[in-house]
Amino acid sequence: MPKYIGQSCTSCRVPFNENDEIVVCPECGSPYHKACYKAEGRCINTVLHESGKEWQPEPVEPLHVSQSAAVDKVCPNCGFHNDPSASFCTECGTSLSAGAEADPRAFGQNYGGGFQGQYGPYGQQGGFPGGDLPPFINVQAVSPDTDIDGITVGEYAEYVRSNTFSYIPKFVRFAKYHKKLSFNFAAFFLSPFWFAYRKMPLFSAITALVSLISSIPYAMEAMTEIGIAQFSAINSRAFAVVSTVCYILSYAVSIFSGLFGDYIYYRHAKNDITAIKSEAAGDLSKKAAMYKAGGTSIGYVFALIAITYGAAAIITALLL
C-alpha cells in the first residue's frame, strides 16, 4: 500500500515503512499496523466515526538535508535552540516558520487553529470535536516529544486523553515552575465525583467521606424541621459549634480540591505512567496499560453515587 508509506499508525503513531503489514478501518479508512489493530480490537478513531468523515493522508515532506547536517532552529523570541523539525519553540511557543517575528504573547497565544484533523494538539488520538479548537481555548504549542520530569508531553496526553488542551499546559507549568496552585471548577463543585471521573479512587473516597460526615448536622436539622424525627440536641450550643465546624469543613474540601485538584491529578498521572513504563514489556502492553489506567470513567462515578446513597440511607436509619 504505497500511499500509506510515511503515514502514522492510528494506534501507536509510528510511521509505516514498506515492510509493515497494514490494515485499514472499513468505515473511515484509518490505517493501522496489523498487530496494533488486533490489540485495539476496533478502530479507535472515534472523531472520524462521529463526524462521518474519512481518513486523509498527511503531507509527507521529503528531507533535503541529512540529520547530521541539520541546524537547530533558533527561536526569534527567546533565543532557545530547538530541534530542526520543530514548528514552534518548545520553550515559549513562538512560531519557527520562515519570517516569523518575536511575539511577547507567544506562549499564551491561541494555537487552536493549527491543530486540525483527527489528532489532538499534543499528538494524542482524538482531537477536539470538529477539528479546530474554539477561539476561547488557549493551547500552548508544546511538542509531544517535550520532556516533563522524565515523561513526554505525548505520554501525558495519551494518559489524560480528554481535555488535554486544559490539563497539559498545567502539567507543564507544575513541572517547569514547581507551582501547585491552579483552579478547577469541576473539582471545586463536584470534588468526590471529579476525582472518581479521573480515576483517583482514594481522593474520591476521602472527599466523599468528609462531605457525607459534614452533612449529618444539616440532615438532623432537616428531619426535625419536616417532622420525621425530633433531635433536642440541635438547640444546644455544642450542636451549633459542631454544625459550624462541619459547614466550614465541607467548604474547605471544595476549596482544597478546586485549588490543588489539578496538581494532585498531575502527580497521580506521573506516578501511574512511571510505573507503567517500568513494568510494561513492550509498546503494545504499555499502550494497553496506559489506556486502562488513564482517561476517565463514568463507571467510577456511578459506583460512587450508589455507595454515597447507600451510606446516606444507613446514616439516616441510624439517626432514626
Domain that holds residue 265: 185-319
C-alpha cell recorded at residue 39: 490489540
Contact between residue 86 and residue 76 where contact means Cβ atoms under 8 Å apart: no
266 within domain boundaries: yes
Find the CATH number of the domain harbouring 47.
3.30.40
pLDDT of residue 21: 86
Q: How far apart are CA 248 and CA 255, in angstroms?
A: 10
285 within domain boundaries: yes
Cα–Cα distances in angstroms (integers) from residue 30 to residues 35, 58, 106, 285, 289, in the given order: 14, 12, 34, 21, 23
- Describe the chain by its helix, strand, coil percentages, rounded to 5: 50, 5, 40
306 within domain boundaries: yes
Residue 43: how many other CB atoms lie within 10 Å: 21
79 within domain boundaries: no
Of 61, 96, 111, the residue at which a domain comes to its end is: 61
95 within domain boundaries: no
Q: How many helical (H) and strand (E) elements, i.e. helices and strands, does the chain have?
A: 11, 6
118 within domain boundaries: no
pLDDT digits (tens, 9 = 90+) for 155-192: 999 999 888 888 988 998 898 888 899 999 999 999 99
Residues lower than pLDDT 50 in the chain:
63-69, 100-140
pLDDT of residue 303: 96
178 within domain boundaries: no
Any residues with CB less than 8 A from the CB of 205 and at least 6 apart, and which?
192
Q: How far apart are CA 235 and CA 64, in angstroms?
A: 83
How many structural domains comprise the chain? Answer: 2
Please state at what angle helix 298-319 crosses helix 201-214, rounded to 10 degrees.
30
pLDDT of residue 142: 61
Of 33, 61, 89, the residue at which a domain comes to its end is: 61
pLDDT of residue 264: 97
Of 43, 61, 79, the residue at which a domain comes to its end is: 61
Q: How far apart are CA 157 and CA 177, in angstroms?
A: 20
176 within domain boundaries: no
